[in-house]
Structure 1
Amino acid sequence: MERRPHVLAIPFPAQGHVGPLMKLSRQVARRGIRVTFMNTESVHTRMLQAWGDGDRPWGGIEMATIPDGMEEIKDMRDIEKVAEMRVKVMSGRLEELLRKMNSSWDEKVTCVLADATLGWAFEVAEKMGIKRAMFWPTVVPGLVLSISTPRLVEAGVIDNCGSASSDTAIQFSPKLPAVKSVDFLWRCPGDQRREEIIFRHAMSVNKAVQISNWLLCNSFYELDHAACGLIPELLPVGPLTSTDRLGNFWAEDLTCLNWLDLQPCESVIYVAFGSLAAFDQNQFEELALGLELSGHPFLWVVRSGFTNVDEIKYPDGFLERVSDRGKIVSWVPQEKVLAHPSVACFMTHCGWNSIMEGISNGVPFLCWPCFADQFYNRSYICDTLKVGLDLKAEEAEIVSRHKIQAQLEQLLSDVQIKENAERLRGMARRSVSEGGSSSTNIQHFVEQLKCCSEAVYHCD
């Protein structure tokens, strides 16, 4: 019997990381590679609960789980202890799992495909003589920045915590806009500890790059050719999209699709801030009233934990006043929503998955970043790609309902932004079609996996 290459895929245990790696894994599996997807037990449980009793859309991927030690954490808000415990528990369990799989399975694990932030996974694989593929899940210029962080610290451009002066701007190439300190990937306004932890992850990426055999990212060459030129070995394999519920942590409310069917073409403001963003009550109310003032139909995702109070509280009378044109749900099938002809624009936190999904469907963006790479993504969308507008607030400033209304009106009336979005949509779709740049890169990766696998099995 012919033995296939076997990839073990390991995501960072968060919604925005699990989803794209699972989509990539399914594409690799469709090309004849055996893929096992390793989740933490807590993440896997959430995914099963979100899916319910129906068939799971693993799409030919096998699933495996390991503990992450979270049961020993007394306060999940202590992000430093959470991060330390995950590394301690998961790195040891990964080595155990790999030894078990390679001693008892006919098709040995020949490659570990892991999120760029999981430096320990690459070290374990290297120690065991297993090939390594690094997956970068966010904007490509951000990878350039992360690779450069040790050198920037050594040169004194940024300090050991990732801080720089407010006027710092780092120019990696004349073809790329300078990276300002307010757009650093690790920036978390008001949360210094989280900022330092994310910065440590960024610092570790350089080593992961050095010991990886392949570098993959969720973008496409035509979008990021200038940044890709600085990392010649990088294989853009995106946009990684799927209308199946791959990697979702929440159950989807499908009634929103029927509601969209009833709305006029390009009339609906779609509002969603991902899985982690949280607003205080005052800002939440201003957002609600800004949507009301816009006069447009809107679809708004308000998940649990979206505000800093235990129970979601809308402005007095708001729900009654917008009942004829507002649809509020806890979670949606986002790619189906963005593909719907009724959607006119996307008010977003600027998570990279949302950006890729919006670009793939030619939807303009109203940008409201909250932390980490979202600030750089905002600048990329508005200043470089010119497919959106900024709804920026200075730290501790409330974005008023009137500013929300004004920016929505400006975005919806901007013909050039709409034309730019349509142009990128065409580029994105061509890249993943047969013979396109991303499709070709995935096939190239698969063919190399097969060659390496033949060498491994020949040695047996």
Structure 2
Amino acid sequence: MVSPPHALVIPYPAQGHVIPLLEVAHALADRGFTVTFVNTEFNHARVVAAGAGLEDGGRIRFVAVPDGMAPGEDRNQLVRLTMLMEEFMAPRVEELVLASGEGGGAGGKITCMVTDYNVGSWALQVARRTGIRSAAVWPASTAVMATLLSFNKLIEDKIIDPEDVDYDIGARNNRVLAHPAVACFVSHCGWNSTMEGVRNGVPFIAWPYFADQFVNQVYISDVWKIGLKAVADKSGVITKEHIAGLLAELKGDAGMRERVEALKKAAHESIQSGGSSHGNFDTFAEGMKKA
């Protein structure tokens, strides 16, 4: 009997990354993969406590590895965290791949790896050394990815001033957003939240904070036109009166509601059987099954 393909999924250890990689893990399990999901010990405890993955009958095996930081250390120090991950996580992940399948171990031999692009090159290097197929997932918008890949060109063309650039390394909302009483979504415009708002057909009040959130806000308010941007007053404060005014404007905008519903419909159609996103993931899964 041929064993099913076994995918090792590695997210970057931050909420905005763990959630989409967990969705990828479930999508792979839907297509016949055995899945091992590797978290840092710090995040592993949080994921298991939240019951993530258990709602589908425990199809996903969760494994914890050290991130190199002390228990009480600030994991918002992303540069330090990322550097330590290569030192402490890489050897453990490699051991996990090499030991898989021995003695009839859980899930059988690991045959492929799906890693968050932001984890860094060490994960793909582990895959190469151990001879398994690998792929990196970018869990944010393609617009941001295209900008990053064109960064040097944008500097050469003087579109971006490198001295002004701030370099950043980069509870599910679905049940709340699906409730009919929700009139709008006041969002920081992270990509997860943006997709959740779109899927549930909820207009946005966009209040970005950092990194790719500002790009996502432009798509929400200026390109797709499914929300309004919150703007600070002269004192730098976004007041409750301003938010109330935006909410009233959203509720009275029939065109906004039509655009929101049209985008929701397109999103749902794309992930159904025969839809573009569903088909693309099927193709990806089949490619990852190949030896």
Q: CA deviation at 1:397?
A: 0.9
TM-score of the aligned structures, taking structure 2 as reference length: 0.89
Q: Distance in 2 between matches of 1:425 and 1:31?
A: 25
1:424 to 222, 240, 263: 263
Matches within 5 A, 1:345-356: 345-356=184-195
Task: Report the Cα distance in structure 2 between the residues aligned to 1:15 and 1:65, rounded to whole angstroms.
Answer: 16
Q: Following TM superposition, by how much is the alpha carbon of 1:411 offset from its aligned partner in structure 2, in angstroms?
A: 1.4
> In 2 relative to 1, CA 103–392 (structure 1 residues): closer, same or farther, beyond 3 Å?
farther
Q: Secondary structure at the match of 1:138?
A: coil
CA distance in 2, matches of 1:400, 1:110: 53
In structure 2, distance between residues paired with 1:359 and 1:397? 29
- The whole-number CA distance in structure 2 between the counterparts of 1:37 and 1:88 is 19
- 1:373 equivalent to 2:212? Answer yes
Corresponding residue of 1:413: 252
Aligned equivalents of 1:444 and 1:398: distance in 2? 48
Residue 13 (structure 2) pairs with residue 10 (structure 1): no
- Identify, as 1 or 2, the structure richer in helix: 2
Q: CA deviation at 1:75?
A: 4.9
Question: Aligned in 2, Cα 1:88/1:159: closer, same or farther, shift over 3 Å?
Answer: farther
Residue matched to 2:41: 41
Over residues 80-121 of structure 1, what are the superposed CA-to-partner deviations in whole Å (9 max), with x where a residue is unaligned?
323322232112222222222265558322221011111221
Q: 2:173 aligns with which of 334, 350, 359?
A: 334
In structure 2, the residue matched to 1:183 is none
**In 2, Cα distance between equivalents of 1:157 and 1:123:** 34
Structure 1 SS opposite 2:268: helix
SS in 1 for 2:183: strand
CA deviation profile, 1:350-399 (whole Å, cap 9, x unmatched): 11111111111211111001111111110011111110000033897111
Q: Structure 1 residue 57: deviation in Å?
A: 4.4
Aligned length: 288
- Deviates further, 432-441 or 101-110: 101-110
1:46–1:386: structure 2 CA closer, same or farther, 3 Å change rule? same
Residues 183 and 203 in structure 2, CA contact (< 8 A), matched pair in contact too? yes
Assess if the C-alpha contact under 8 Å between 1:26 and 1:59 holds in 2: no
Deviation at 1:341, TM superposition (A): 1.7
Pair 1:196-2:167 in alignment: yes
Q: State the TM-score, normalizing by the size of structure 1.
A: 0.58
For 1:84, the equivalent position in structure 2 comes to 83
Show the counterpart of 1:124.
126
2:147 is equivalent to residue 148 of structure 1 = no
Q: Larger deviation: 425-434 or 397-406?
A: 397-406
What is the 5 A alignment of 1:374-413? 374-393=213-232, 397-413=236-252
Q: Over residues 412-445 of structure 1, what are the superposed CA-to-partner deviations in whole Å (9 max), with x where a residue is unaligned? A: 1111111000001111111111111111112112
Q: What is the rounded CA distance, in whole Å, between the counterparts of 2:102 and 2:160 in structure 1?
A: 46
Q: Could you say what the CA RMSD is over the residues aligned between the two structures, in angstroms?
A: 2.6
Would the alpha carbon gap of residues 3 and 434 (structure 1) be closer, same or farther in structure 2, given more than 3 Å must change?
same
Larger radius of gyration: 1
Deviation at 1:26, TM superposition (A): 0.9
2:145 pairs with 1:138: no
Point out where structure 2 has 5 or more consecutive residues left out of the alignment: none
Q: Which has the higher contact order (CA 8 A, sep 6+)?
A: 1
For the pair 1:114 / 2:115, whether they are aligned, the reply is: yes
Offset at residue 78 of structure 1 (A): 4.0
Q: Provide the rounded CA distance (Å) in 1 between the counterparts of 2:71 and 2:234.
A: 34
Matches within 5 A, 1:8-87: 8-51=8-51, 57=56, 59-71=58-70, 74-76=73-75, 78-87=77-86
Summarize the Cα distance change of 1:416–1:438 in structure 2 as closer, same or farther, 3 Å threshold: same
Helix, strand or coil at the partner of 2:63: strand
- Tell me, yes or no, if structure 1 residue 94 matches structure 2 residue 110: no
Pick closer, same or farther for the CA change 1:357–1:79 going to 2, 3 Å. closer
Q: Percent same amino acid among aligned pairs?
A: 40
Change (3 A) 1:391 1:84: same
